[in-house]
Amino acid sequence: MNRTPTLTGHGPWNARWGTVGMQRLSAHLVRAYWLVTAALFVAVILMLVLYTPVDRGMGPVQKIFYLHLPVAISGFLAAFVVFIASVGYLWSRSMWWDDLAAAAGKVAVLYCAVILLTGMFWGRSAWGVWWTWSPRLTFSLVLFLLYAVYVLIRPTIDSAERRAVICAVYGIIAFLDVPLVYLSVRLIPDIHPSSISLEPAMRLSLLAWFPPVVMLMAGMIGTRYALNRRLRSAEAGRFSEAPSAGAAIRVSAAGGHP
Amino acid sequence: MTGQAYLLLAYIIGLSLLWGYAAALLLSLRAARQRPPGAVDGESRRQSARAPSITQERTAP
């Protein structure tokens, strides 16, 4: 029987892509990666409570900054992954680039949401308002909306090739907002601080928050990407085993990815 | 509300969102790995049952 390759370790997949031993090793490495990420989060939270000094001007609410900034940078990185994957798809027309872009797009939305939410708590305490239409806040909201639309339009396009092309072009254009978010505070007068001077202990705390937040972002993109690949492979396998379904349905099935 | 309460809320909401999504992804991947090959998951079934493709529209009588 000519079985279609899957990612489950059965059938010809092993011969084509690896061995069961390699799969087990990779599963162990993935587990270790998530355990290290979780442990780092516990460590930096303890550091925040026990070590990080309280800001004399703003008080304890200034500590939101240690989550807010790394999440913002990670969100930009996720948007950059969408950009690179979109360019990669248009260049090579390989579907795995599209799966990567789809995975990073969802993570970018999530991180943008967390940027906005943590920023709102900061703003309420520092400026007395939950939201103000300052350039950086506005461009950040636009960034969130751009990637939310990116995630929402993907399932509405049936043809896999059309969806990949449209989303790749959109992913490249959407990324143009990232430099605007970064530069707006330097080019336009803004209530949002462009830089904050930190004591050495505060700087160390800020640096300590970057690895776990970036690792979490990378882990999410990797996991979502693995799910996307699995879904695409399962769809392709199902329809190649049912030739009577016809080419028309095959096109539709290939389009059925988040 | 005090600054301490804002700080607590910001971290609880932020970290819950991040780790909640991460946990959901890991559980989905685990479920997908345990599913026998060829089995149809809910998402694939929904996606396949969607509107006909362009090719279908062209070939339909």
Q: Collect all residues with Cβ–Cβ distance below 8 Å to A106 and sequence separation of at least 6.
A: A151, A224, A258
A52 found inside a domain? no
Tell me which DSSP letter residue A157 carries: -
How confident is the model at residue A198, as a pLDDT? 81
How confident is the model at residue B16, as a pLDDT? 96
How confident is the model at residue A238, as a pLDDT? 65
Confidence band (pLDDT; 50, 70, 90) for A137?
A: very high
Range of the domain at A250: 62-235+245-254
The mean pLDDT of A221-232, rounded to a whole number, is 93
Residue A40 has pLDDT above 50, yes or no: yes
One-letter amino acid identity for A91? Answer: W
A162 found inside a domain? yes
CB A178 within 8 A of CB A76: yes
Our count of domains for chain A comes to 1
A17 found inside a domain? no
A34 found inside a domain? no
CB–CB of B21 and A110 under 8 A?
yes
A154 found inside a domain? yes
Size of interface A-B (CB pairs under 8 A): 138
A223 found inside a domain? yes
**Which residue did the predictor score with more confidence, A4 or B43?**
B43
CB A78 within 8 A of CB A107: yes
Torsion A80-A83-A86-A90 (CA) sign: negative
How confident is the model at residue A241, as a pLDDT? 58
CB–CB of A223 and B32 under 8 A?
no
The mean pLDDT of A1-8, rounded to a whole number, is 42
Q: What is the DSSP string of A215-245?
A: HHHHHHHHHHHHHHHHHHHHHHHHHHS-GGG
CB–CB of A252 and B52 under 8 A?
yes
A40 found inside a domain? no
How confident is the model at residue A26, as a pLDDT? 83
Confidence band (pLDDT; 50, 70, 90) for A80?
A: very high
For the packed helices A65-92 and B3-34, what is the interaxial angle rounded to 10 degrees?
Answer: 40
CB–CB of A67 and B14 under 8 A?
yes
A55 found inside a domain? no
Compare all CA atoms of chain A with the CA of B5 and give the residue at the minimum distance: A61
CA distance A79 to chain B (A): 16
- For the beta carbon of residue A82, count every other beta carbon within 10 angstroms: 29
Of the candidates B17, B43, B51, which has its C-beta nearest A114's C-beta? B17
At B8-61, the pLDDT tens digits run: 999 999 999 999 999 999 999 989 888 766 565 555 555 555 544 444 444 444
The mean pLDDT of A210-231, rounded to a whole number, is 95
How confident is the model at residue A231, as a pLDDT? 87
Q: List A residues 56-85 in contact with B (Cβ-Cβ < 8 A).
A: 58-61, 63-64, 67-68, 71
CB–CB of A118 and B14 under 8 A?
yes
Confidence band (pLDDT; 50, 70, 90) for A227?
A: very high
Confidence band (pLDDT; 50, 70, 90) for A206?
A: very high
Of the candidates A11, A121, A248, which has its C-beta nearest B6's C-beta? A121
CA distance B27 to chain A (A): 10
How confident is the model at residue A42, as a pLDDT? 97
How confident is the model at residue A225, as a pLDDT? 95
List the one residue out of A159, A145, A143 whose CA is nearest residue A98. A159
Q: List A residues 2-31 in contact with B (Cβ-Cβ < 8 A).
A: 6, 8, 10-11
How confident is the model at residue B46, as a pLDDT? 56
Determine the distance from the C-alpha atom of residue A69 to the mean position of all C-alpha atoms in its chain, rounded to a whole number: 15
Of the candidates A158, A162, A231, which has its C-beta nearest B50's C-beta? A158
The mean pLDDT of A139-167, rounded to a whole number, is 94
CB–CB of B54 and A41 under 8 A?
no
